[in-house]
Amino acid sequence: MARGKTRLFTIGYEETPHHAVLNELEQAGVKLLVDVRAVASSRRPGFSKSQLAAGLDERGIGYIHLRGLGTPKDGREAARSGDYKTLTKIYRAHLKTPQAREEMDQLKTLMKTAGPICLLCYERDHEHCHRKFIADLVEEAEGVVAKNLTAPQF
């Protein structure tokens, strides 16, 4: 891929309609959405795993769920309470687990083969989300710069 083109994006769907997220991904040229939620279900219409994959497929965007890169339950609870220091500690420890390491390797391989990729999670603010940790690690390992996408809210 040509130097200067973004190959790694992140997006959160909090307070964002399904169609707005899909539009944002399509406009950015994303070819593969990597769902990094531990639990790929949602109360928000269109964001559960099968619905999301179907909507992406209609737009020519692939989908993969790497649950091992999702935040463990205690980390999600810390995030909900606004305790980002605890979230950081929990998630850094989680990244050392065999499943997380294996899926991080899988993500790095996808970076080389799948075209522009976007990491998806719920949290709108990427600065307070585990996907920033993932993006930072990929940036360092693959020499790319991640860009956070922000779809219009409702």
The predicted-structure confidence for 97-151, as pLDDT tens digits, reads as follows 999 999 999 999 999 898 899 999 999 888 888 999 999 999 998 888 999 999 9
The span from the first CA to the last CA of the chain, in angstroms, equals: 34
Residue 88 lies in a domain: yes
Q: Tell me the C-alpha distance between 34 and 46, whole Å.
A: 16
Work out the percent of the chain whose per-residue pLDDT is above 70: 96
Ramachandran sector of residue 29 (left: φ over 0; alpha: ψ -120 to 50; beta: rest): left
User: Packing angle between helix 84-94 and helix 73-80, nearest 10 degrees?
Assistant: 160
Over residues 15-39, mean pLDDT: 96
Residue 140 lies in a domain: yes
- Give the domain range for residue 46: 8-149
Work out the percent of the chain whose per-residue pLDDT is above 90: 78
Residue 2 lies in a domain: no
Residue 40 lies in a domain: yes
pLDDT band per the 50, 70, 90 thresholds, residue 2: very low
Q: Tell me the C-alpha distance between 6 and 154, whole Å.
A: 27
Q: Which residue in the block uniquely carries the two structure tokens 């991904």? A: 25
Q: What is the pLDDT of residues 58-93, one digit of tens each?
A: 999 999 999 999 999 999 999 889 898 999 999 999
Residue 13 lies in a domain: yes
Q: Tell me the C-alpha distance between 16 and 153, whole Å.
A: 4
Predicted local distance difference test score (pLDDT) of residue 60: 97
Is the predicted pLDDT of residue 6 greater than 90, yes or no? Answer: no
Residue 154 lies in a domain: no
Predicted local distance difference test score (pLDDT) of residue 1: 37
Predicted local distance difference test score (pLDDT) of residue 5: 67
Q: Tell me the C-alpha distance between 146 and 76, whole Å.
A: 23
Predicted local distance difference test score (pLDDT) of residue 95: 95
Residue 143 lies in a domain: yes
Q: Tell me the C-alpha distance between 75 and 87, whole Å.
A: 5
Is the predicted pLDDT of residue 49 greater than 80, yes or no? Answer: yes
- The domain that holds 53 is classified in CATH as 3.90.190
Q: Spell out where 31-81 has E strands.
A: 32-35, 62-65
Number of domains within the chain: 1
> Residue 95's beta-bridge partner residues?
none
Q: Helix or strand or coil: residue 115?
A: coil
Torsion of CA 63, 149, 22, 33, to 10 degrees: 0
